[in-house]
A = this chain, B = another copy of it.
Amino acid sequence: MTHIIPPKTAHVFSRVRFIMVQPSHPGNVGAAARAIKTMGFHDLCLVAPRYPDICELPEAHALASGAGDVLSAAALVGTLEEALAPVTLAFALTARARDLGPPPCDIRQAAAASRQHLGAHENGQVAIVLGTERSGLTNEDIARCQRICHIPANPDYSSLNVAQALQLAAWELRYALAVETGLPLLPSTDKASQQAGSEPAANDKVQAFLAHWEQALVAIQFLDPRHPKKLMPRMQHLFARSELSQDEVDMLRGVCTAMIKACR
């Protein structure tokens, strides 16, 4: 990733909006809130939901799990136009390609384009627009978006529901934006694993172990020094790629000593 875009991860994440057009199942709205929060976003916008109080229904809250705050703060608007008002780059997430409409891409490409857009424009705002559970987005909805994006699922069974699709889109955006902003993607490795002994062993220590190992293999009569064949090069190959720690070298040298002693 060559794009280094400065600070304020939280700020970048706050410039991404997830828009659900005419959602009818409270459970899906709750699951969407959860998916959004899990990936570090919080802006959910509902266009003309089937029930005006959809965010307060028990099923929505049950599936939102700990993301009730995202649910409660969800914006409710009457039209997609209103939902897109502050948005500078909108992706219509659709199941299949259309004859007409904005240029298509997949959600990974959409995430990369979003990163670029948000990095280049301090006031840029990205949206992912999802259609109804039953019929997706209308051509009119799609025409309001700058781009179309797809999730290239199994063509024989592309049965993702709207909450799952949103989950994948949120993940892709998180991955793209976190890389860009330098947010650590991996949990920091535990201090324990950085203790002295778990440092990688220096090459000379590994070689000294291999010499000891060779003696031990001779002692147990596994290796015939008169006909060594390719045995030691193969051992070298095995242990070299294992990236032994100093602890492990010490442990293995203990094994060598015990092998030699056992043969006396």
Quick check: is A259 within 8 A (CB to CB) of the other chain?
Answer: yes
* Contact indicator A153/B262 (Cβ below 8 Å): no
Total count of chain A residues near the partner, CB < 8 A? 71
What is the total number of copies of this protein in its complex?
Answer: 2
**C-beta contact mask, A149-193 vs B, less than 8 Å → 1, else 0?**
011111111111000100110010011001110001111111011
Minimum CB–CB distance from A77 to chain B (whole Å) comes to: 25
Minimum CB–CB distance from A2 to chain B (whole Å) comes to: 10
Assuming the contacts A37-B159, A238-B244, A255-B222, asked whether A192 and B150 have C-beta atoms less than 8 A apart, the reply is no
Assuming the contacts A66-B159, A164-B167, asked whether A189 and B97 have C-beta atoms less than 8 A apart, the reply is yes
* Contact indicator A154/B258 (Cβ below 8 Å): no
* Contact indicator A99/B174 (Cβ below 8 Å): no
Cβ-closest chain B residue relative to A245: B238
Minimum CB–CB distance from A61 to chain B (whole Å) comes to: 14
Residues in B with CB closer than 8 Å to A154 are 37-40, 174
Residues in B with CB closer than 8 Å to A97 are 1, 186-190, 193
Interface residues of A (CB under 8 A from B): 1, 3, 34-35, 37-40, 65-67, 96-100, 104-106, 108, 150-160, 164, 167-168, 171, 174-175, 178-180, 184-190, 192-193, 217, 219-222, 231, 234-235, 238, 241-242, 244, 247-248, 251, 254-255, 258-259, 261-263
The 18 listed contacts between A and B (C-beta, < 8 Å) are A1-B97, A1-B152, A34-B159, A37-B159, A40-B154, A66-B157, A97-B188, A100-B193, A106-B185, A152-B174, A219-B262, A220-B255, A220-B258, A220-B262, A222-B254, A222-B255, A231-B251, A263-B263
